[in-house]
Structures are given as structure tokens and as C-alpha cells.
Amino acid sequence: MENRQWLLRRRPVRMLRDGDLELAPGDQHERALQAGEIRVRNLLFLYAPTMRNWMSARDASLHMIIPLGAPIQAMSASRIVESRHPAFPVGSRIVSTSKWSEFDIIDAASAPRLIDEGVTAIEALGAFGLNAMTGYFGLMRVGRPSPGETLVVSGAAGSTGSVAAQIGRIAGCRVIGIAGGAEKCSWLRNECRIEEVIDYRSDDVSSALKSLCPTGIDIFFDNVGGTMLQAAVDNMAKFGRIILCGQIAGYNSEDDDLPAFRNIMRVIYGSIRIQGFLFGDYRDEVPEAIADLIAWRQSGEIVTREDIRTGFETLPLHFNALFEGTNRGTLLGLVDEDAYSSS
């Protein structure tokens, strides 16, 4: 059984470069399975900005660090080819944290999720995947929107932000999306039906928020950090809530002391709540989230899009698209056409 994998050979400095990763023969792919393990053939990988954090070696981080010489970690959709766990039979499909490898061994104790019949692997990592559920939990569990409130979403054309923005519309909020470029802003207005959109490439975000939110921002869903977060803090309403989902503006920085925002007294005197969260905080609620996302997508209340890049050998070439803003939708790496199957 041939197996290849991508190893971390050098810690990236800012963007991922040639030589940071190495394509090498896979390890332990032919060893006998232990009780509770399953062997999978990977079909599809999710490119996630947080993977850039995993490749770094920042001190005092709370996230996983990939050791030098170890395989790149990523969310994957896979087909089970051998199993020693009764809940995961051969032939079924799962979503799990795997490696950038053609085959992998997954411990069932790590809570892989079976993909339902009728759902493709692309949908399982895209429309109903990690990013979509992150948008769902961030807004619904942390932000707790109410009808009539003003919701602002940074990175609103991304796979997490666009879902959060559309759920805010469903919840009765007045939604303002921040995105970069005419195409993304047009997609938000015309396809996602977002009421107001700010193009950060051509507009002054802080001034635009001040004009659009004369009584302040009730909820800010932040995927970006940096100047976006500062602009939101400057324009928050009394008792506003800031949801910290991501800080993509700083993922490629080598600075261990990244600035967050100034004027902390505004947060204090504004009684503003700031909360970070992770998808895993709500793992037990995943079935409810998926059921809602499927219903909203089937009814047309939520639209999603996937940007599929093909080829195992070219996986690293597309990673930087996340930070260059050139991807259009959830960025996925297709390595097997079986990902299009719904059974």
C-alpha cells in the first residue's frame, strides 16, 4: 500500500515557502491496527488558517504545535478501509483530524464523525463542516443575537464569516459584512443577502462603521483581528459583545506580542463582553448544528461555496491563498474523486 505524506521540515517565516514542507514516504501505514483504531484513505482536506499557528513555535501557546519532521495536521474527510471499532465499519466515511497523507490510522477515541448517507465529503467539510459550525456556534452560543440588533462580521466572505453573517440575518439582526474586493462584496450582497457591506480595500472601516452604526455595534464577530478589531472596539454599543473567532491578520507574523487593540477603558465603561471560543467547546451540540445548517441550506436561507484545489502533490501550493484572500469560499484540497460520492 503506497503512502505519501507532507512533513514539516522548517518553520515558516510569514508565508509558507518552498522547502518548508517535504513530500516523503508515509510512516506506519502498514502496521497492524490496535483495538479501537481505523485505517482510512484520505479523500479531501480542509485548508484552515489555524494550521499556520500549528506550524509555528510560539511560547505560551494553547494550540497544538507540529514538531519538525512530523506530518502536517489537518481536518480531513476519509473512507474507512480497515477497522477495529464496531461503530466505524469498513466502507463508511468520516470527518476527523488527520495528516496530510494518503492513508492514515485514526484512533476512534479522538471522536471522528461519520458522514451521513446522501452527504458528500465535500459537503461534510464545506457547507456542513468545521468552518460552518464554527460560525454557527460563535454567533448562536457566544453572541446570542436578538432581533433588531446590529451585527458586524469581519472576514464576512469567508467560509466561517459568511455563515455567521447569514445566521445573523435569519435571527433578525441588521447585518454588516466586512470583506475585501468587489467580487466578494457583491457575493455577500446578492447571494448571501447581507444588508450592508464594507470593502476594506477601498473604504476606511472605522469611518464606515461610525456612519452605518450611529448607535453602535451590538455584536462583532471577528475573524481578522488587527485594525478590524480596533475599528469595532471604537464603535461598540453599550453592553456589546465581541466574538473572537480568529486573528488571521497575525497568523503569519513572527511577533510573539501581537497588539490587540487600544482604549481598553472603552471596553470597561461600555460594559462590553469579549469572548473567545473553539468549535470543540460545543462538540456535544454538533448534531443540532448540522441539522440547522442542512435545513437552512435546503430552504435557501444560507448559501455556501467551495474553492476546490486538486492534487496531493500540490497541497502546499494552495495554502497561502487563505492569507492572500484569493480563495473563493471554503478552501479544500481534493486528493480522491471519491469525495464527490454521497454514499
pLDDT per position as a tens digit, 253-275: 555 555 567 889 999 999 999 99
CA separation for the pair 288, 120 (Å, rounded)? 19
**Mean of pLDDT values over 91-97:** 97
CA separation for the pair 155, 180 (Å, rounded)? 8
Q: Is the pLDDT confidence value at 29 over 70?
A: no
According to CATH, the topology of domain 4-126+305-340 is Quinone Oxidoreductase; Chain A, domain 1 (3.90.180)
Question: Closest Cα partner for 1 from 51, 39, 36, 54?
Answer: 39
Name the grid cell of 249: 491578520
Please tell me what DSSP assigns to residue 181.
S
Q: Is there a contact between 18 and 31 (Cβ–Cβ < 8 Å)?
A: no
CA separation for the pair 123, 339 (Å, rounded)? 9
Domain boundaries, the chain: 4-126+305-340, 130-280
Give the per-residue pLDDT at 325. Answer: 83
Name the grid cell of 186: 457583491
Helix H, strand E, coil C: the string for 290-319 is HHHHHHHHHHCCCCCCEEEEECCCCHHHHC
Q: Which residue's C-alpha cell is 462584496? A: 185
CA separation for the pair 179, 161 (Å, rounded)? 10
The lowest-confidence range among 67-71, 110-114, 171-175, 246-250 is: 246-250
pLDDT per position as a tens digit, 113-159: 999 999 999 999 999 999 999 999 999 999 999 999 999 999 999 99
Q: How many residues does the chain have?
A: 343
- Identify the CATH number of the domain defined by range 130-280: 3.40.50.720
CA separation for the pair 74, 98 (Å, rounded)? 6
CA separation for the pair 86, 335 (Å, rounded)? 27
Give the per-residue pLDDT at 282. Answer: 94
Triad 102, 103, 105: Cα angle to 5° = 150
Asked, colleague to colleague, whether 4-126+305-340 and 130-280 share their fold, the answer is no
Triad 321, 325, 326: Cα angle to 5° = 60
pLDDT per position as a tens digit, 283-336: 999 999 999 999 999 999 999 999 999 999 999 999 999 988 888 889 999 999
Containing H/E element for 197?
strand 196-199
Give the per-residue pLDDT at 31. Answer: 84
